[in-house]
């Protein structure tokens, strides 16, 4: 397959290719693990009830389609910006802009949610102050080079996996286990769809790998492998933890819990380990925050290169080779948001925006398959993107009416911004 070369705007230096497969996988794991288990488990239980595992399977199927489409697109377009670049090159400037707009707005809300999650776990009485401090610290870290960020992720991912494994072992070996809690009697089709949309929020971290396409070595090989490995690891962990929480706590109690995995260790008779779980949750949220800021700033960089955002945001630091002004802008906005946003509302809004983002990604992969078909032929190559588009749209509009309306308004604002920029 011929790769399409995408370079930075004339006069703007390219980012350095410093990341290998391991660093790219850790970037995806850091993004997904923090958002997935410690934040979305309770709202998923509230929506899907005992159908949490069905919702997980549906979300995983849609996420798999998106992962395959994203991997193929990232191989064809190994540049910073992710679906913003793919939509622009395959579908036209408007769709690229809409994807980039959805990503930046939705993931900025996710940054605030992750920062607040860390604050509530670490110091509930001063959650907002802790969240602001975390945002400023990670923005500064990212400004001094992506290699430093990757090393921080190694430690974060290791801590989170150990904590999750501890919860699973303690929960499944405790006398509190009741397998009848896996019965699907408390679920509905609408609830499962809504729960799948919220679960999808947890899977969206693999996009961070694609948005770093200009900073990984050998992108044609690295991006595809990293997305697949990260996806399999996270799906396995999610399934194990979801089963554990269901059989130990049950979905009615889970739906109203502010710390579901802490409840698991308490009901299992190991309440002394609750502080360990709280620290793990905070570390997970901080890992997600770190990679979210990375991803949003890279999409901001790509949009600024095309003048959809102020051109100064496309500046790459001559020494550290990072989009420093974009990092600072994103960090500043998130720091303001953490004083006003609600965590659960931010999750729903982000889920809607990210699903629209991936709908554009799958449509772009459909277009790419028509020009660069696999050995199976064009029709076979388009099956996965087609299922991805349908799945993304179905899940996005299964969320609450308020969330959908807010998302549609934000998309309309983005479309108006594109029209105004085009006239200029």
| In 123-218, alpha helices (H) | 127-143, 146-172, 189-203, 207-211
Q: What is the pLDDT of residue 84?
A: 81
What distance in Å separates the CA atoms of residue 300 and residue 328, rounded to the nearest whole number? 11
Which residues of the chain carry a pLDDT beneath 50? Answer: 1-11
Query: What DSSP string runs through 31-88?
Result: HHHHHHHHHHHHHHHHHHGGGHHHHHHHHHHHHHHHHHHHHHHHHH--STTTHHHHHH
Q: What is the pLDDT of residue 2?
A: 39
- Check: CB of residue 362 under 8 Å from CB of residue 385: yes
Averaged confidence pLDDT in the chain: 82
Query: What are φ and ψ of residue 19, in 5° steps?
Result: -100, 135
Q: What is the pLDDT of residue 98?
A: 92
Q: Which helix (H) or strand (E) holds 2?
A: none
Task: List, in sequence order, every residue forming a beta bridge with 216; answer none if it has no partner.
Answer: 19
Q: Which residues contact 378 (CB under 8 A, 6 or more apart)?
A: 369, 370
- Check: CB of residue 21 under 8 Å from CB of residue 209: no
Q: Encoding tokens for residue 235?
A: 């799906």
By CB atoms closer than 10 A (0-12, 13-18, 19+), residue 43 is buried
CA distances from 379 to 368, 369, 371, 375, 387 (A): 12, 8, 12, 11, 13
Degrees, nearest 5: CA angle 139-140-142 = 65
Nearest one of 303, 247, 296, 358 to 112, comparing CA atoms: 296
Nearest one of 76, 368, 61 to 220, comparing CA atoms: 76
Tokens 């983005």 locate to 414
Dihedral over Cα of 104, 105, 106, 107: its sign: positive
Q: Structure pTM? A: 0.78
Degrees, nearest 5: CA angle 153-158-163 = 125
């Amino acid at each position: 397959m011929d790769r399409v070369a995408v370079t930075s705007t004339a006069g703007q230096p390219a980012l350095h290719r410093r990341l290998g497969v391991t660093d790219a996988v850790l970037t995806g794991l850091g993004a997904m693990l923090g958002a997935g288990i410690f934040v979305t488990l309770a709202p998923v239980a509230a929506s899907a009830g005992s159908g949490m595992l069905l919702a997980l399977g549906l979300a995983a199927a849609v996420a798999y389609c998106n992962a395959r489409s994203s991997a193929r697109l990232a191989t064809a377009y190994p540049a910073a910006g992710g679906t913003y670049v793919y939509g622009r090159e395959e579908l036209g400037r408007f769709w690229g802009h809409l994807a980039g707009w959805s990503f930046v707005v939705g993931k900025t809300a996710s940054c605030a949610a992750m920062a607040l999650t860390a604050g509530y776990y670490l110091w509930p009485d001063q959650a907002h102050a802790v969240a602001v401090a975390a945002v400023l610290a990670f923005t500064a870290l990212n400004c001094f080079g992506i290699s430093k960020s990757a090393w921080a992720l190694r430690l974060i991912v290791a801590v989170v996996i150990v904590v999750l494994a501890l919860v699973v072992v303690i929960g499944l070996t405790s006398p509190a286990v009741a397998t009848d809690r896996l019965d699907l009697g408390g679920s509905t089709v609408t609830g499962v769809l809504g729960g799948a949309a919220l679960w999808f929020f947890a899977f969206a971290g693999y996009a961070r790998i694609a948005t770093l396409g200009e900073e990984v070595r050998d992108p044609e090989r690295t991006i595809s492998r990293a997305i697949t490995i990260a996806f399999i690891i996270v799906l396995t962990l999610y399934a194990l933890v979801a089963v554990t929480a269901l059989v130990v706590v049950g979905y009615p109690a889970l739906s109203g819990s502010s710390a579901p995995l802490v409840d698991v260790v308490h009901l299992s008779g190991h309440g002394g380990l609750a502080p360990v779980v709280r620290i793990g949750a905070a570390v997970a949220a901080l890992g997600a925050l770190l990679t979210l800021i990375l991803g949003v700033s890279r999409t901001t960089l790509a949009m600024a290169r095309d003048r959809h955002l102020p051109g100064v945001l496309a500046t790459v630091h001559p020494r550290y080779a990072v989009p420093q002004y974009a990092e600072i802008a994103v960090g500043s906005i998130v720091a303001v948001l953490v004083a006003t946003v609600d965590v659960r509302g931010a999750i729903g809004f982000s889920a809607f925006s990210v699903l629209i983002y991936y709908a554009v990604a799958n449509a772009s992969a459909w277009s790419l398959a028509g020009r660069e078909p696999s050995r199976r032929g064009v029709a076979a190559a388009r099956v996965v993107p087609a299922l991805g588009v349908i799945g993304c749209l179905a899940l996005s509009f299964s969320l609450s009416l308020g969330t959908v309306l807010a998302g549609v308004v934000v998309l309309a604002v983005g479309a108006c911004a594109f029209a105004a920029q085009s006239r200029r």
